[in-house]
Amino acid sequence: MELNDANLQTLTEFLRKTLDPDPTIRRPAEKFLESVEGNQNYPLLLLTLLEKSQDTVIRVCAAVTFKNYIKRNWRIVEDEPNKISDQDRTAIKANIVNLMLSSPEQIQKQLSDAISIIGREDFPQKWPDLLTEMVTRFRSGDFHIINGVLRTAHSLFKRYRHEFKSNELWSEIKLVLDTFALPLTELFKATIELCQTHATDINALKVLFSSLTLISKLFYSLNFQDLPEFFEDNMETWMTNFHGLLTLDNKLLQTDDEEEAGLLELLKSQICDNAALYAQKYDEEFQPYLPRFVTAIWNLLVSTGQEVKYDLLVSNAIQFLASVCERPHYKHLFEDQNTLTSICEKVIVPNMEFRSADEEAFEDNSEEYIRRDLEGSDIDTRRRAACDLVRGLCKYFEGPVTAIFSGYVNSMLAEYAKNPGENWKHKDAAIYLVTSLASKAQTQKHGITQANELVNLTEFFVNHILPDLKSANINEFPVLKADAIKYVMIFRSQLPKEQLLQAVPLLISHLQAESTVEHTYAAHALERLFTMRGPNNTTLITAAEMAPFTELLLNNLFKALALPGSAENEYIMKAIMRSFSLLQEAIVPYIPTLIGQLTHKLLLVSKNPSKPHFNHYLFESLCLSVRITCKANPTTVSSFEEALFPVFTEILQNDVQEFLPYVFQVMSLLLEIHSNSIPASYMALFPHLLQPVLWERTGNIPPLVRLLQAYLEKGGASIAGSAADKIPGLLGVFQKLIASKANDHQGFYLLNSIIEHMPPESITQYRKQIFILLFQRLQSSKTTKFIKSFLVFINLYCVKYGAIALQEIFDSIQPKMFGMVLEKIVIPEVQKVSGPVEKKICAVGITKVLTECPAMMDTEYTKLWTPLLQALIGFFELPEDDSIPDDEHFIDIEDTPGYQTAFSQLAFAGKKEHDPIGDIVGNPKILLAQSLHKLSTACPGRVPSMLSTSLNAEALQFLQGYLQAATVQLV
């Protein structure tokens, strides 16, 4: 694509169409842009548009498209095409910083993100001058430019907060500090001076305070891994100014908005974070500054209101206190009873209250409420921070803190009892306090695993939780009902089983509650209870104990999906999956009705898949219904196919990318249940499965290979008969997979199934070509994974077609090739093969080469006979060699960049391990002994003499053992 006006015009028109709400206009435009993004100059055309277009909408659209293009294509992945040419890469890096700094803020943010994506891959090795280019802009004095640099630096460096320690990371951080730390400190001081100069100019202050917030974030990232020497030497400058900013109160910067945090709050929140980081990690160096920070943050907490805009600030400030009170050095600051009482009264209790903002979220934004409350993304809520502070204080002061709070809990419950209708929020706070006091250690799997001995959880459950669960009106006081359900859920490992069983029918009735939070919590609690393990590793609650409630449970779960706001509720769907799994054959009578509801739901969500977890559990539930029903009666598989195929066909025709890997897995499961033939409906689909476009997407590869394996296993002969013209297509798939380091093992899975199940004559003409392809790959890149798969394949070939056929095909490619393969690959590498089935195939294959291949006895290959036997005995007796050479680090499928639906394995569509040799060979060692005996009777004297001259003594001893076990001897 040339950089000319015509192309800019075309691109503008297509970008405009991608904003069209009508999918018939939008989709083709998106497809067109996707089709040209591999062309040279495409990214430069986008950059030209975002710089020069007269239309603001097009400029922003070009910026977003450019950022997404970089996100998808910048990383170079082995085996994948590199869509960005080197010239384009160089041009982008040469211009993007300037462009970003001179663009309006909306575009600046997109380009800043793009720089950080490129930086993650190229900085510092391939983009050494990025930092110096950015630092020189600090001198410009123009804060629009400075903030652009700071924003970009923040997105580049924030990964230091969660990267694992490594030499590479340390040397990168050192390079950044050498170039960046001093200019950042100078900028920090200069910006603070400017704040004083412009103390009365609101517009200047807004810009300066957003700079200070970014500088504080950078401080956090650069100090996270370790305390850099530079910052230790300049701690006085940073901490004195941070402290000054914490205590600053500029009336001009206060906002009227109650929801949105203002610049002052954002800056102070970040400073609390920075102080907490130093208090936790560098407590010795930070000690001189700590008391004044504790005082400043304490005053901040006592004087800050309950409005939502202060939430982040208050929670970060409380988190600071929580991190300080856990450290033994600072224990003395909290020892005084009055201090503890004052913290409880002024900080913890007020921040545990259920505010009207929480009530609004509970009613109108239930999804967000659930995410915060259940999934722990409530890091920045006041309640969570107060809860963490309680846990922190309990570390050294459990007795006094529990005593102080018990008084509060009793008085709150007494208030509630006086007038429940008015005072229900008191009970809510009491339950929250008890929960935070009682929980010492928690895991996702078991809920609370360690509890405070001073709190009687069972008594509290009976007196205060059970009455709410039992109340006749499930829609009254929904917040308290949700609290009660959550109490059962988090203390499930602490409460006795009879109380959990008592709760189950009550939870089932709460699935009908109108409140989304309440019925979601009920579903989640049931799902968690059903996963609990009992004494002998069975589920704690059994299907028999659930028998009286089975029908009601299934009914209420499916009815809950029809409640407003819960059409795609992932907690309900997960509970359906878990109920099926627990109840097993008890669900069979209900399946005819339920499968209809599940397929109807699948049809609806496939129109616009937006909830990945919901969809995953939906497919898991489908798999379970198929498994459980067909286990009891395999002939029912056809009724499932009747129900599912129409929806699957629609999904395949509309190319619903997110669902294809799932559909292929469910189809594999169905096909594997069939006895030994392929129904016509599957045969009709077979040619479509070989279309190259399906194999372009990494997420499709594992399930598609499994599906093709099922086709081959159930109908290799019918494919050879009625679809022989498709065999080249099948081998084409193998060829594509074998060329990729990430997917070559999948190529071998397919090839092994072809060898095992296709009639030999149907693939005779292709055999040589298959081996040639494998040798080409061996020469171009020989990895451990490839070698292991290659060894399994040649031994399977030997088992299937015989040792002579294996030797002949190698030698037909090139004379003496068979000997080279034995010497260079089989003998030195066989110890690396892993997996019981794979090991068995290799052992049987090598045994056949040793005892059924005349060329091994009377040609130049004979010298390899004893080393091969030695390798086989070593394979039986020595530990597996799992070493991997240094230069091989496999890219994981999950690491491939961009949005590609990665493969999601369905747990309940699992496939049994298939053993192609089966029971014919029970113990390969016995087979070796018997085969050697047979060989020695055919040529008496040869075998013992070969053994005595060159097999080492230890191996010979093992071999004697095999011969004795098989009760045979060599002649």
Average pLDDT on 771-784 reads 93
Task: Identify any residues that bridge with 443 across adjacent strands, giving them in sequence order.
Answer: 447
Angular region, 434: left φ>0, alpha ψ -120 to 50, beta rest = alpha
C-beta of residue 687 within 8 angstroms of C-beta of residue 676: no
Q: Which stretch of DSSP H or E encloses residue 443?
A: strand 439-443
Q: 267, 378, 232, 368: which is closest to 319 by C-alpha? A: 378
Q: What is the 3-state secondary structure (H, E, C) of 284-313?
A: HHHHHHHHHHHHHHHHHHHHCCCCHHHHHH
Model confidence pLDDT, tens digit, residues 614-630: 999 999 999 999 999 99
Average pLDDT on 27-35 reads 89
Is residue 448 helix, strand or coil?
Answer: strand
Q: Which stretch of DSSP H or E encloses residue 449?
A: strand 447-451
Which amino acid belongs to residue 12? T
**Structure tokens of 468?**
């709410």
C-beta of residue 738 within 8 angstroms of C-beta of residue 747: yes
Model confidence pLDDT, tens digit, residues 299-310: 999 999 889 899
pLDDT of 752 reads 96
C-beta of residue 623 within 8 angstroms of C-beta of residue 908: yes
Is residue 904 helix, strand or coil?
Answer: coil
Q: Which of 75-89, 338-352, 921-935 has the lowest mean pLDDT?
A: 75-89
Rounded Cα gap, residues 330 and 327, in angstroms: 6
Average pLDDT on 492-513 reads 96
C-beta of residue 490 within 8 angstroms of C-beta of residue 481: no
C-alpha 135: how far from chain center: 36
Q: Which stretch of DSSP H or E encloses residue 440?
A: strand 439-443
pTM, rounded to two decimals: 0.83
Model confidence pLDDT, tens digit, residues 728-749: 999 999 999 999 988 999 999 9
Q: For residue 869, with 0-12 CB atoms within 10 Å meaning exposed, 13-18 middle and 19 or more buried, which class applies?
A: buried
Residues in the chain: 971
User: Does residue 176 register a pLDDT over 90?
Assistant: yes
Backbone φ and ψ for 528, nearest 5 degrees, come out as -65, -40
Task: Identify any residues that bridge with 447 across adjacent strands, giving them in sequence order.
Answer: 443
Is residue 350 helix, strand or coil?
Answer: helix
Q: Which of 259-268, 366-375, 949-958 has the lowest mean pLDDT?
A: 366-375
Residue 256: pLDDT band with limits 50, 70, 90: confident
Average pLDDT on 55-82 reads 91
Mean pLDDT estimate for the chain:
92
**Structure tokens of 928?**
């070796």
Average pLDDT on 196-211 reads 93
User: Does residue 900 register a pLDDT over 60?
Assistant: no
Determine what percent of the chain falls in helix, strand and coil, rounding each to the nearest 5: 75, 0, 25
Average pLDDT on 532-557 reads 94
- Compute how many other C-beta atoms are within 10 angstroms of the C-beta atom of residue 336: 10
Rounded Cα gap, residues 240 and 796, in angstroms: 73
Rg for the chain, CA atoms, rounded: 34
Average pLDDT on 39-59 reads 94
In the chain, pLDDT over 90 holds for what percent of residues?
A: 77
pLDDT of 259 reads 86
pLDDT of 902 reads 53
pLDDT of 890 reads 40
C-alpha 43: how far from chain center: 30
User: Does residue 24 register a pLDDT over 90?
Assistant: no
Rounded Cα gap, residues 584 and 325, in angstroms: 50
User: Does residue 258 register a pLDDT over 90?
Assistant: no
User: Does residue 454 register a pLDDT over 80?
Assistant: no
Rounded Cα gap, residues 494 and 450, in angstroms: 8
pLDDT of 899 reads 32
CA distance readout (Å), 905 to 184, 214, 282, 445, 902: 47, 41, 43, 20, 10
Q: Which stretch of DSSP H or E encloses residue 439?
A: strand 439-443
Average pLDDT on 632-659 reads 93
Residue 379: pLDDT band with limits 50, 70, 90: low
Residue 442: pLDDT band with limits 50, 70, 90: low
Q: For tokens 């530990």, what's the residue?
A: 879
**Structure tokens of 879?**
């530990």
Q: Which of 72-86, 601-615, 854-868, 918-932 has the lowest mean pLDDT?
A: 72-86
Q: 634, 647, 551: which is closest to 606 by C-alpha? A: 647
User: Does residue 378 register a pLDDT over 60?
Assistant: no
Residue 79: pLDDT band with limits 50, 70, 90: confident
Average pLDDT on 172-198 reads 95
C-beta of residue 721 within 8 angstroms of C-beta of residue 683: no
- Compute how many other C-beta atoms are within 10 angstroms of the C-beta atom of residue 377: 13
pLDDT of 654 reads 87
Angular region, 816: left φ>0, alpha ψ -120 to 50, beta rest = left
User: Does residue 106 register a pLDDT over 80?
Assistant: yes
Residue 897: pLDDT band with limits 50, 70, 90: very low
User: Does residue 443 register a pLDDT over 90?
Assistant: no
Q: For tokens 């007494």, what's the residue?
A: 414
C-beta of residue 903 within 8 angstroms of C-beta of residue 911: no
C-beta of residue 608 within 8 angstroms of C-beta of residue 653: no
Q: Using the 8-state DSSP alphabet, how is residue 344 labeled? A: I
| Non-local CB neighbours of 396 within 8 Å, separated by 6+ positions | 325, 331, 334
Model confidence pLDDT, tens digit, residues 672-728: 999 878 999 999 999 999 999 899 888 999 999 999 999 999 999 999 998 889 999
Q: For tokens 């066989």, what's the residue?
A: 830
Q: Which of 304-308, 814-818, 911-915, 930-934 has the lowest mean pLDDT?
A: 911-915
User: Does residue 90 register a pLDDT over 60?
Assistant: yes
pLDDT of 449 reads 67
User: Does residue 5 register a pLDDT over 90?
Assistant: yes
* Helices and strands, number each (H, E), in the chain: 50, 2
pLDDT of 373 reads 85
pLDDT of 270 reads 97
Is residue 410 helix, strand or coil?
Answer: helix
Rounded Cα gap, residues 485 and 480, in angstroms: 9
C-beta of residue 741 within 8 angstroms of C-beta of residue 747: no
pLDDT of 77 reads 82
Model confidence pLDDT, tens digit, residues 332-349: 888 889 999 999 999 999
Rounded Cα gap, residues 401 and 440, in angstroms: 14
Rounded Cα gap, residues 716 and 757, in angstroms: 5
Q: Which of 40-54, 70-84, 275-289, 925-939 has the lowest mean pLDDT?
A: 70-84
Backbone φ and ψ for 605, nearest 5 degrees, come out as -75, -25
